[in-house]
């Protein structure tokens, strides 16, 4: 059976791709991912704040006490002339490209052109096969309109696309007022793929210390419903690749995402919880299911259950919401 698929212009052996996570910080883990069957790897994210911090630290060290003697005034060039940034990340890309044969997709997390543009160019030069832009943004300004927010995303995408030649995928949150509209705008602005969806790691409150703390909860299979819904709606209506992420833990989850139109399915929580070797187990289960149900290829099932191919297109819209509520029967409760 043929498990091959295409994503960002690359021919991949299977639709199983580890998403950005701490696992890819080690080259040995990336090699294990390849050995377990990963068809590509998205590296852990480099955050815009890291780039800003490094620029700030460099400026501090170059300018500290420079006025203490005359010669120092012209000894160092201006900080803007330095090509700064976490060099370790670039070295990591180069080393990964040497150690494995599968594509390496770099990941940048931020929300400003200034914070991302220069480094996206350096990432391309380091040899990354593609770039995933994780535009993680929580707007808190009550005077900021939805159009302004969308325009910020569009500006980042267009600027970066104009400066690099490798494919660019946008990893998005689901919190747009009209996902269909904004997805079309991203397509028109040059996105090569959309990754649906980013999971917001929302804070929690420690009641003992009365402090706000980060709280990371791994996904469960229930989380796949949202990306499944939107991939099914967007498939065939926009000409970009679609990557499904969040809630994919089993071969059944992979199959569902492929059937609604995903090019690839991204794995994260299942690998963190159960180990990298789960990639191979999921692939084996996928093969067995396809054989049992007489599917010869991934392409055969891809998009077969999307909204445009579904016998009941309304199943992905409001009527299904009403039908679900009307048909729900709560379990009996003992008195």
Instruction: Examine residue 128 and state whether it is found in any structural domain, yes or no.
Output: yes
Confidence of residue 65 (pLDDT cuts 50, 70, 90): very low
Alpha-carbon span 243 to 257, nearest angstrom: 9
Q: What is the pLDDT of residue 2?
A: 97
Residue % of the chain over a pLDDT of 90: 67
Q: What is the pLDDT of residue 97?
A: 98
DSSP string, 16-73: EEE-SSGGGGSHHHHHHHHHHT-S-EEEEEEEHHHHHHHHHHHHHHHHTTGGGSGGGG
Global pTM reads 0.85
Q: What angle do CA 300, 302, 305 make, to 5 degrees?
A: 110
Beta bridge partners of 131: 106, 168
Would you tell me how many other CB atoms lie within 10 Å of the CB of residue 239? 9
Higher pLDDT, 258 or 68: 258
Residue 299 has pLDDT above 90, yes or no: yes
Q: What is the pLDDT of residue 325?
A: 59
pLDDT single digits (tens) 79-128? 443 333 478 999 999 999 999 999 999 999 988 888 788 899 999 999 99
Q: What is the pLDDT of residue 100?
A: 98
Alpha-carbon span 159 to 123, nearest angstrom: 15
- Joined tokens for residue 75: 């000894």
Instruction: Examine residue 332 and state whether it is found in any structural domain, yes or no.
Output: no
DSSP string, 111-164: S-HHHHHHHHHHHHHHT-SEEEEE-------TT--HHHHHHHHHHHHHHHHHH-
Q: Is 89 exposed, middle or buried (0-12, 13-18, 19+ CB in 10 A)?
A: buried
Instruction: Examine residue 221 and state whether it is found in any structural domain, yes or no.
Output: yes
> Phi and psi (nearest 5°) for 199?
-100, 120
Tokens 């649906």, residue located: 196
Cβ atoms of residues 247 and 221 within 8 Å: yes
The total number of structural domains in the chain stands at 1
Q: What is the pLDDT of residue 312?
A: 74
3-class SS of residue 195: strand
pLDDT single digits (tens) 2-49? 999 999 999 999 999 999 999 999 999 999 999 999 999 999 998 887
Instruction: Examine residue 295 and state whether it is found in any structural domain, yes or no.
Output: yes
Instruction: Examine residue 276 and state whether it is found in any structural domain, yes or no.
Output: yes
Q: What is the pLDDT of residue 59?
A: 37
DSSP string, 228-269: HHHHHHHTTTSSSEEEEESS--SHHHHHHHHHHT-SEEEE-H
Integer CA distances (angstroms), 134 to 20, 29, 49, 106, in order:
10, 22, 13, 10
pLDDT single digits (tens) 174-201? 989 999 999 999 999 999 999 999 977 7
Cβ atoms of residues 191 and 198 within 8 Å: no
Q: How many helices (H) and strands (E) does the chain have?
A: 12, 12
Give the CATH number of the domain where residue 24 resides: 3.20.20.70
Alpha-carbon span 246 to 239, nearest angstrom: 22
Q: What is the pLDDT of residue 150?
A: 94
Lowest-pLDDT range, 44-53, 130-139, 199-208, 262-271? 44-53
Instruction: Examine residue 334 and state whether it is found in any structural domain, yes or no.
Output: no
Residue 182 structural domain: 5-327
Confidence of residue 62 (pLDDT cuts 50, 70, 90): very low
Instruction: Examine residue 77 and state whether it is found in any structural domain, yes or no.
Output: yes
Q: What is the pLDDT of residue 120?
A: 94
H/E stretch holding 184 reads helix 179-188
Alpha-carbon span 224 to 323, nearest angstrom: 20
Alpha-carbon span 305 to 296, nearest angstrom: 17
Residue % of the chain over a pLDDT of 70: 83
- Joined tokens for residue 229: 């819904």
Buried b (16+ CB within 10 A) or exposed e, 251-271: bebbbbbbbbbbbbbbbbbbb
Residue 53 has pLDDT above 60, yes or no: no
Would you tell me how many other CB atoms lie within 10 Å of the CB of residue 279? 24
Highest mean pLDDT (candidates 134-143, 204-213, 249-258): 249-258
Q: What is the pLDDT of residue 67?
A: 42
Instruction: Examine residue 335 and state whether it is found in any structural domain, yes or no.
Output: no
Higher pLDDT, 66 or 223: 223
Half-sphere exposure of 135 (CA within 13 A, CB side): 29
């Amino acid at each position: 059976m043929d498990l091959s698929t295409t994503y960002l212009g690359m021919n991949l052996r299977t639709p199983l791709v580890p998403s950005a996570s701490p696992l890819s910080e080690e080259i040995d883990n990336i090699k294990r991912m390849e050995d377990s069957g990963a068809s590509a790897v998205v590296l852990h994210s480099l955050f815009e704040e890291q780039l800003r911090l490094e620029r700030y630290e460099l400026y501090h060290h170059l300018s500290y006490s420079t006025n203490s003697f005359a010669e120092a005034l012209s000894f160092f060039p201006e900080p803007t002339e330095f090509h700064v940034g976490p060099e370790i990340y670039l070295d990591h890309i180069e080393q990964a490209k040497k150690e494995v044969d599968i594509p390496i997709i770099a990941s940048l997390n931020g929300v400003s052109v200034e914070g991302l543009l220069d480094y996206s160019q350096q990432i391309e030069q380091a040899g990354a096969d593609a770039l995933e832009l994780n535009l993680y943004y929580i707007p808190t300004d009550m005077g900021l309109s939805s159009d302004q927010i969308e325009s910020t995303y569009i500006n980042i995408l267009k600027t970066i696309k104009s400066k690099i030649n490798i494919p660019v995928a946008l990893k998005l949150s689901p919190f747009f007022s009209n996902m269909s509209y904004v997805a079309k705008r991203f397509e028109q602005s040059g996105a090569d793929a959309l990754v649906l969806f980013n999971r917001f790691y929302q804070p929690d409150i420690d009641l003992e210390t009365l402090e706000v703390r980060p709280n990371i909860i791994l996904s469960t299979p229930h989380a796949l419903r949202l990306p499944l819904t939107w991939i099914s709606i967007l498939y065939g209506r926009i000409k970009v690749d679609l990557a499904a992420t969040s809630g994919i833990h089993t071969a059944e989850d992979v199959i569902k995402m492929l059937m609604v139109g995903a090019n690839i399915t991204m794995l994260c929580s299942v690998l963190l919880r159960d180990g990298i070797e789960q990639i191979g187990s999921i692939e084996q289960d996928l093969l067995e299911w396809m054989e049992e149900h007489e599917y010869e290829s991934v392409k055969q099932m891809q998009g077969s259950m999307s909204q445009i191919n579904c016998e009941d297109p309304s199943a992905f819209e409001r009527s299904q919401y009403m039908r679900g509520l009307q048909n729900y029967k709560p379990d009996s409760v003992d008195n």
